[in-house]
């Protein structure tokens, strides 16, 4: 980005800290409502979680399993809107659930039909029950023993980092400002202890400057506590960080345009194996960590978990080699 501290030295309505999906979305919302908006990102846009997702635009099948209908309905609506507003970055993706019990086909067909219905006019297509033969045609490397049937449902897939860049461009187009490599290192407060701006350190020149705003939004994701600490070091643990990983496998492990969805892993979550740029992305995990890092490392237990779960469902077994 063009860097000119003087350009940012004005009174803003909104300063948004964090250039991930949440911050960029918030800033675009603010600027398109007519507010003077500045977004500050300490690294590159989508440096954090927002470039490392499973790339699904979904309503959250697992939240449906937990009975959180309102959350799923809202997410499905957003899925539909994103597919319309960013059609160049989103595509429809078929997911197949292989059923290894006689009742699985009926159970998941029923549940995912509700998922379709909740998406209303923004539905991406109907859920289908398919027999064993068709399931193996769609997922040629899925384990055939004890396979009864499959359920095919539609969800969205998107390019998360491209979306972040396009959101940043849209903010600028709408008259807002976005600045990367600009780390918020402190909050400015008035005599009533109210936050009135931020102190920024340019990560390229190491110069610092101050910017003022009526509203400061903390959209730093897993780093939220750092900003809260600037406001009040005794704030307590507001966000408990966790990490998740994916393994990227050669396409030969799942040579298909359909994705594999495992609805219940040994730790009670869902696991996806999704085609992505001639590879297959398999994930994810969810492990609590003490301190979040900008370059998190996969833990041995996470890699083992994904390999083991994938081995349970695939005839071509992925290993560490
Ligand atoms: C493994 C995994 C897979 C996922 N898969 C999906 C999926 O398929 N679909 C889906 O919809 N969601 C998915 N999610 C969830 C989704 O990715 C996150 O909810 C989303 O990316 C969070 O965005 P965010 O903007 O809140 O945080 P982040 O993307 O982490 O953004 C926070 C930003 O703040 C910046 N920052 C931190 N400190 C400062 C500072 N002091 N000054 C300035 N900037 C700062 C960081 O550099 C970072 O860019 C997944 C999550 C995980 C962990």
CA 146 – CA 161 distance, rounded (Å): 40
**Residue 151 backbone dihedrals phi, psi, to 5 degrees:** -130, 125
Say whether pLDDT at 182 is over 60. Answer: yes
**Residue 201 backbone dihedrals phi, psi, to 5 degrees:** -110, 120
CB 213 within 8 A of CB 13: yes
Say whether pLDDT at 310 is over 90. Answer: yes
Residue ranges per structural domain of the chain: 5-51+161-231, 72-158+242-313
pLDDT in tens, 262-271: 998 888 888 9
Domains 5-51+161-231 and 72-158+242-313 share a fold: no
pLDDT in tens, 282-297: 999 999 999 999 999 9
Say whether pLDDT at 24 is over 70. Answer: yes
- Confidence band for 184, pLDDT divided at 50, 70 and 90: very high
CB 261 within 8 A of CB 61: yes
156, 221, 299: which to mutate for ligand 1, most atoms within 8 A of CB?
221
User: Quick check: CB of 302 below 6 Å from ligand 1?
Assistant: no
Distances (CA, A) of 12 to 8, 47, 202, 210: 9, 24, 18, 12
pLDDT for the residue numbered 9: 75
pLDDT in tens, 134-161: 999 999 999 999 999 999 999 999 999 9
Give the chain's mean pLDDT: 94
Residue nearest to atom 9 of ligand 1 (CA): 56
CA 270 – CA 282 distance, rounded (Å): 11
What is the CATH architecture assignment of 72-158+242-313?
Answer: 2-Layer Sandwich (3.30)
User: Quick check: CB of 280 below 6 Å from ligand 1?
Assistant: no
Say whether pLDDT at 1 is over 60. Answer: no
The number of the ligand 1 atom at minimal distance from the alpha carbon of 22 is 25
What is the CATH architecture assignment of 5-51+161-231?
Answer: 3-Layer(bba) Sandwich (3.50)
């Amino acid at each position: 980005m063009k860097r000119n501290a003087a350009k940012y030295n004005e009174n803003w309505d909104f300063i948004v800290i964090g250039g991930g999906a949440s911050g960029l979305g918030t800033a675009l919302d603010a600027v398109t409502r007519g507010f003077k908006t500045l977004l500050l990102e300490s690294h590159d846009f989508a440096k954090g979680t927002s470039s490392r997702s499973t790339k699904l635009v979904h309503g959250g099948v697992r939240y449906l399993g937990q009975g959180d209908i309102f959350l799923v309905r809202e997410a499905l609506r957003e899925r539909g809107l994103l597919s319309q507003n960013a059609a160049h970055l989103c595509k429809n993706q078929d997911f197949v659930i292989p059923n290894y019990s006689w009742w699985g086909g009926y159970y998941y067909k029923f549940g995912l039909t509700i998922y379709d219905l909740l998406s209303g006019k923004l539905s991406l297509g109907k859920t289908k029950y398919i027999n064993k033969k068709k399931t193996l045609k769609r997922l040629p490397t899925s384990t055939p023993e004890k396979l009864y049937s499959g359920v095919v449902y539609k969800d969205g897939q998107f390019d998360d980092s491209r979306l972040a860049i396009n959101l940043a461009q849209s903010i600028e187009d709408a008259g807002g400002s976005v600045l990367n490599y600009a780390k918020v290192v402190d909050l400015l407060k008035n005599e009533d202890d109210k936050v009135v701006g931020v102190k920024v350190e340019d990560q390229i020149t190491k110069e610092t400057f101050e910017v003022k705003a009526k509203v400061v939004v903390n959209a730093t994701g897993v780093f939220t506590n750092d900003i809260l600490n600037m406001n009040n070091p005794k704030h307590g643990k507001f966000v408990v960080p966790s990490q998740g990983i994916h393994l990227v496998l050669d396409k030969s492990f799942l040579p298909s345009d359909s994705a594999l969805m495992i609805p219940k892993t040994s730790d009670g979550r869902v696991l996806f194996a999704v085609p992505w740029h001639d590879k297959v992305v398999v994930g994810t995990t969810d492990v609590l960590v003490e301190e979040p890092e900008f370059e998190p490392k996969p833990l041995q237990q996470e890699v083992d978990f994904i390999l083991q779960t994938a081995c349970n469902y695939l005839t071509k077994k992925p290993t560490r080699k």
